[in-house]
Chains A and B, each alone.
Chain A
Amino acid sequence: MQPIELIQSRTVVLASTNIDTDQIIPARFLTTTSREGLGAHLFADWRYDSAGQPRADFVLNTPAAAGCEILVAGRNIGCGSSREHAPWALMDFGFKTIISTQIADIFRGNSLKNGLLPIVVDESTHEYLLAHPGIALKISIVDRTLTLPDGRNISFALENFARFCLLNGTDELGYLLSQSAQIEHFEKAHQS
């Protein structure tokens, strides 16, 4: 995982509510045994028509979306399937952070483990972001703040451990492996 401190980018707004992981990447793309190249299938059923051609009216196909690293989603994103292919696809497409009013538990965990920052904001900030697509935001993981173009700082919740892992590019498996003495002790105590 690459260390990440600061995200500075324009936003893309996808205002749909309750965007589930089947929309982020449909199940038919899950027969892969690799995690590479899934960005091509991101939002496949919204992005392409039945002939497989990009739909001009879908926001990710517009020139304004090119290079954007911040996805502002409608209320609640990531519900449904536990497929980690969802954050893999979002990151492969180029996103580094997802903003919504609510982010489903498994999707949130999967995102953090891949260096994709899930940000939950309050209703009024969310409404402002939805109403102003394409604005430039500055997101500091160090300060846990999101800075609007007018200079307003909005703080967001990010647990200390997740922040540490993002800032240092630490992967959790290394940390877990370092706990092996305790794990062994637990297994002995529980005769398992």
Chain B
Amino acid sequence: MSPRTLFEKVWSAHEVVPQTADTPAVLYIDLHLTHEVTTPQAYTVLRSRGLKVRRPDRTFATMDHSTPTETAQVFGGIPIKDASAARQVAQLESNCAEFGIELLNLQDPRRGIVHIVGPELGLTQPGSTIVCGDSHTSTHGAFGALAFGIGTTEVGHVLATQCLLQRKPKTHAINVHGQLGRGVTAKDLVLAIIRQVGVSGGTGSVFEFRGPTIAQLSMEERMTICNMAIEAGAKAGMIAPDETTFAYLKGRARAPSGAAWDAAVAHWRTFCTDEGAVFDQQTDIDASQLVPMITYGTHPGMSVDIDAKIPVTQGDAVFDKALSYMGLSPGQTLKGQPVQVVFLGSCTNARLSDLRAAAAVIKGRRVAAGVQFLVVPGSQSVKAQAEAEGLDQIFLAAGAEWRESGCSMCLGMNGDLVARGAYCVSTSNRNFEGRQGVGARTLLASPITAAAAAVAGCVSDPRDFLP
């Protein structure tokens, strides 16, 4: 057999029916992750057609998007304030009960953001196909899975048939070499990749992040990278599984154990790109040249080095509109820009290592006057681990808010909002107009850059705050 890429191996292992000139492939889905926002209409279709869920055992539900993060609304016995969100949560509960789907309900100690919970439980496994009605499903590609976001109609397809109709995408290798410098994180690396490839540069393609820099990253860093593959328009992002992957998965609740573990690892090892396999496209990145990054515009490709100036363009109406929305000027340096909100959270950067890194910056310092610093662990497990280490006390002592897990301020649909015109340094993934609230101005950055902004009260170089 001719050499194949990681993507091609996973794809062909899941072809129920290969594509033809007239029909797309029927692709088998190993794991279907679901949540409250993009499933209600799919269950309505199932019910109206008298269909069952084909594989409840391969379907898993959590609640994260519209759920509140205030402890009182989660554990305090008071109902969810937003009536439509409460209805959505109730409907997920009744749908899961009716169709036999395992659900992590609001008070479950394992609940959290769907893309954080899947890996934590060991549900996310190398070489598998994973879908979810959420674009950041690309996160799971960090394990060498083919994982991508789908719409609600497709959620219905997977519920009913465990399959999707798909056209085979192209492949794009993102080759990363060079050591990341002090204070330069996986978030900075992926922002640099998006800047280079462009926000639509990945359309129709699956990225494979590879090279010595990627091999050295932890699983949590790899998840941050793959999470934002969609921000370059990619169908999915993948990283070949290795010893780091296996060490992460070993002993997790849903990972294989005993003899099955050894067999699984042997199988997982085959999911790598063969020597000589050909990608449709290649991009090379020298990580050693990177510094901490921050976005200044209204899409994730509009970023600059933390100490650089916002570009000056001539006659670019789109660029001018973005800067006008952001209340920023061409040629301006972002460093020193006052901020009103700092958000540490989301499926991009709310795992334990993210909280640890931010806490190391915060420790012994105070959140600047007039700044709201919201810390939202990615899952209840992350929250519990962080509390066991005393991270919550570091954040609280500094004057931050410590919340229950959820998508929170990443998207304005659960009560956690940034006010009109306010600047928010956010560890999330999208700086689109209105994403964090109507008129909110989002500056995407790493957890340490966010923490530095929280204590300084303005955009700051995190390298000045590292222990």
Contact = CB atoms under 8 A, between A and B. Distances in A.
Given A18-B199, A30-B413, A110 B41 contact: no
Given A16-B318, A173-B160, A182-B17, A27 B413 contact: yes
B154 A113 contact: yes
24 contacts: A16-B321, A18-B318, A27-B65, A27-B435, A31-B37, A31-B413, A45-B434, A50-B420, A50-B439, A74-B318, A79-B299, A82-B151, A84-B153, A109-B154, A110-B151, A110-B152, A172-B165, A173-B153, A176-B163, A180-B161, A183-B162, A183-B163, A187-B162, A190-B28
Interface of A: 15-18, 20, 22-23, 26-28, 30-35, 45, 50, 74-76, 79-84, 87, 102-106, 109-110, 113-114, 159-161, 164, 172-173, 175-177, 179-180, 182-183, 186-187, 190, 192
B23 interface: yes
B98 to A, nearest CB: 14
Contacts of A172: 153, 157, 165
B200 A102 contact: yes
Interface stretch (B85-93, B247-255, B351-359): B85-93
A160 B58 CA distance: 31
A23 B149 contact: no
A33 B151 contact: no
B323 interface: no
Contacts of B22: 160-161, 164
Contacts of B167: 159
A106 B149 contact: yes
A28 B38 CA distance: 13
B261 interface: no
A33 B40 contact: yes
B165 A32 contact: no
Contacts of B148: 106
B332 to A, nearest CB: 22
- Give the 8 A-B residue pairs with the shortest CB-CB distance, closest first: A110-B151, A84-B151, A33-B40, A82-B149, A31-B84, A27-B413, A82-B135, A113-B153
A183 B161 contact: yes
Q: Which of B30, B58, B161, B204 has the most CB of A within 10 A?
A: B161
A73 to B, nearest CB: 12
Contacts of A20: 299, 430, 432
Contact of A23 (B91, B412, B434): B434
Contacts, number: 178
A67 B154 CA distance: 30
Contacts of A50: 420, 438-439
B150 A22 contact: no
Contacts of A164: 22
B84 A32 contact: yes
B161 A177 contact: yes
Contact of B135 (A81, A103, A177): A81
A161 B165 CA distance: 10
A106 B162 CA distance: 18
B433 interface: yes
Interface string B5-39: 00000000000110001111010101000000110
A175 B413 CA distance: 35
Nearest to A173: B157
A16 to B, nearest CB: 7
Interface string B290-324: 00000000010000000000000000011001000
B82 A173 contact: no
Given A173-B156, A173-B160, A79 B412 contact: no
Interface in B190-232: 199-200, 203-204, 230
Contacts of A176: 26, 157, 160-161, 163-165
A104 B150 contact: no
Contact of B66 (A31, A81, A177, A186): A31
B134 A82 contact: yes
A141 B41 CA distance: 28
Contacts of B26: 176, 179, 182-183
A136 to B, nearest CB: 26
Nearest to A164: B22
A162 to B, nearest CB: 9
Contact of B152 (A26, A80, A84, A180): A84
A35 B41 contact: yes
Nearest to B135: A82
A30 B149 contact: no
Contacts of A161: 22-24, 165
Contacts of B38: 82-84
A163 to B, nearest CB: 10
Contact of A30 (B37, B87, B135, B299): B37
A174 B323 CA distance: 47
Given A75-B200, A76-B200, A177-B160, 14 more contacts: A30-B413, A34-B40, A50-B420, A50-B438, A82-B133, A82-B135, A84-B38, A104-B203, A104-B233, A110-B151, A114-B153, A159-B24, A173-B153, A183-B16
Nearest to B45: A173
A20 B322 CA distance: 13
A26 B434 contact: yes
Contacts of B239: none
Contact of B151 (A28, A75, A113, A187): A113
A13 to B, nearest CB: 13
B140 interface: no
Nearest to B41: A35
Interface string B106-141: 000000000000000000000000000111000000
Contact of A179 (B51, B153, B161): B161
B232 to A, nearest CB: 9
B235 interface: yes
Contact of A22 (B49, B169, B435): B435
